[in-house]
Amino acid sequence: MSAVPGVPSSGAGRARRRHLPVAAAPRDWRWQLRHATTTVAGLERALALSADERAGAVRAERAGLPLRVTPYYLGLVDPSDPRCPIRRQVVPHAAEALATPGDLADPLGEAAHEVAPGLVHRYPDRALLLATDQCAIYCRFCTRSRMVGGGVGALPGAALRGAVAWLGGHPEVRDVIVSGGDPLALGTDRLERLVAAVRAVPSVEVIRLATRVPVCLPMRVDRALVRALRPHHPLWVMTHFNHPKELTPEATRALALLVDGGFPVMNQTVLLAGVNDAAATLEALFRGLVRRRVRPYYLMQMDPVSGTGHLRTPLARGVALMEALQGRLSGIALPKLIVDTPGGMGKVPLGPDYVVARAPGRTRLRTHRGVEVEYLDPA
C-alpha cells in the first residue's frame, strides 16, 4: 500500500512483513475470517504488545467484547507502536476495565426501543434491523459491545419474519438500516434473502447496509455480492472509515465495485482520541473518500459505551475540529458533526457558532477567515 499523502507512515510495511503480507494473503474473504486473530497468543505473534495491551487482550479472551482482527486489517498495524491509529481501534487495552462517568452498556437505548426481535424503532420513518451479532473485526469502541460477538450468529428466520411483519404493519417506516454486527459478514445467499424480505415490504423505500467490511475485509465485496444485491435497489451502503491509512488499494477496489454497481456510498467516521482527532488527519481522510466517490456523511461523537473512556474526546474537541475544517474542505467533503444522545433520544448536530450578534432584521456573522459580516433580512 502506498503512503497516504500528508499522513506520516506508522510502519505498516513492517507490520506486513512481520505478520502476513496482504499481497500474499488468499483473496477468499472466508479464509480471512477463518484466520482472524482471536487470542492473546495470536496477537503476540504479530505485535510487540505493551503491558496495557496484553492485560486488555487477556481480559477480552475471558469476558466482554471479544478480540478479532482479520489478517488483512492486522497487516495495516504498526507492530511496534501502541500509538498506531489502526492498532488503537482493534487491540484491547487495560483501560477497558475502567469506568468513566456517563458510561452506558446500551448508550443508544436500543433494547428499550426494540419492537420485534432484532428490530429497533427510534425514529418515526426508519427502523434498524440487527441482522447478525458477528463482525469481521471487533472494534474496541463498538456501540453494541453488549451483544456483538455473542456467538448467536445470523438473525433466525422466525425473528426475521416477525420483523418483516412489524414493518408491514407500520407503513410510516420508509427506511430500514440493516446493521448488526456486520451484515456483510453473512454469506451472500443469506444476505440476499434478508434484503429481499425487507424489500418485499411495499412501504419500505430505501434500505441501507451499515458495514465496516470495505475497511477491514474488502475482498468480501466482489462481483457476486454486487450482482446478488443490485436487483434490490435503492440500496445505500454506509461505510465506516476512520483513518486515511484504511484507504488502501484493496479498499479502493471494493468501493469502486459498490459505486459502479449503483450503490450510493456514505461514510460515518467516529471521532476517536489518538486515532483521528487532528484536523490534518480528518482532512486527508475526507479528501480521500471523496476521491473514491464516497460522501463523508457524519463525524460521530463516540457513544459513551462502557469501558471506552480512553478513546472518547470531549464535545468541544469535535466542534473545534469542524471549525478548523470549515473553509478548508468543500461542502461535499465536510460531514456533519453528530451526537447520538444517550438513552436513544436521537441524533443532534453540533458545530461552531458563527453568529456574533442578532438584532431585528440583521445578523452579524463570523466567517471561517475570522471576518465579521452583517447580513440583512429582506424588508
Active site residues: 122-123, 126, 135, 139, 142, 144, 303, 340, 347
**295 beta partners:** 266
**Distance from C-alpha of 263 to C-alpha of 29, rounded to nearest angstrom:** 21
Ordered DSSP codes for 34-61: HT-B-SHHHHHHHS---HHHHHHHHHHH
| DSSP conformation class of 3 | P
Ordered DSSP codes for 151-185: S--BPPHHHHHHHHHHHHT-TT--EEEEESS-GGG
Helices first, then strands: H and E counts in the chain: 13, 13
**Distance from C-alpha of 195 to C-alpha of 235, rounded to nearest angstrom:** 9
CA angle, 220 then 224 then 228, to 5°:
110
Radius of gyration of the chain (CA): 21
